[in-house]
Structure 1
């Protein structure tokens, strides 16, 4: 029993650092004017960086950063979301919904913001 206590303490002490690294938002440099919408067919990947920041990769090294107007609870932890649109574009006035894994259910719904073209700093 005595051996397990130091290991548990070590795991608990390491967890906050790991959470900070996971939630680190890489620096980004704006490369143009913000866009109201981006075509759905152009989106190759969405990278949730925190409860407020999502980077959309549209090809190669082209990224659009969306900084939500306010925190979207659970987004940075779950790192997944859904959206519904009747258009062929994702727009700044669309709503995303966090997808919780455990328990499987819908989380918070949050409004997007303009899509800022950026260059992401190498990590």
Structure 2
């Protein structure tokens, strides 16, 4: 019986490896980030081009943003004019966010959204509530002073 145990364990491990590998994030430029599709990478590059990351902020006041851009299931961008963009890497991601077809319902208390606050997606046609998602820190990206491009 001792000889069959290693064979059974090896068979289970061999069967489970593809499943385990499917859960691991694919390669990307940033540690811990899920790989972006070429279209998503192009969107991110376009929005952050020529801008420099600043110190992460815990909260983002509502009046600071004019546009929300869904880059992927893990990344949201908040534009505040042409020279400032806030990047939010969600905690744990948000399945379906990148489709950009569901409505984002932010559970907000006060006049700002903070790291750790929740939002969920709602299907636009059926009204069925989707996943609950969690904001991460807001990292400002600004054009350097004197940069007119």
TM-score, length-normalised on structure 1? 0.70
* Structure 2 residue 80 is matched with structure 1 residue 62: no
8 A Cα contact 1:30 1:118, kept in partner: yes
Single out whichever of 49-58 and 20-29 deviates more from structure 2.
Answer: 20-29
Distance 2:62 2:76 in 1: 15
Residue 26 of structure 1: SS of its match in structure 2? helix
Q: Match for 2:108 among 67, 85, 94?
A: 85
Aligned length: 101
Aligned match of 1:73: 95
**RMSD over aligned Cα, in angstroms?**
2.2
Distance 2:125 2:132 in 1: 17
Task: Give the deviation of 1:71 after TM superposition.
Answer: 2.2
Aligned match of 2:131: 108
Gaps of 5+ in 1: 1-19
Aligned match of 1:97: 120
8 A Cα contact 1:56 1:65, kept in partner: yes
Aligned match of 1:15: none
Aligned match of 2:60: 38
8 A Cα contact 1:30 1:119, kept in partner: yes
Bigger strand share: 1
Q: Which has the higher contact order (CA 8 A, sep 6+)?
A: 1
Provide, for residues 19-64 of structure 1, a one-character-per-residue CA deviation record: whole Å limited to 9, x for no partner.
x555445234542100001111222111011100000012233100
TM-score, length-normalised on structure 2? 0.59
Aligned match of 2:74: 52
Residue 55 of structure 2: SS of its match in structure 1? coil
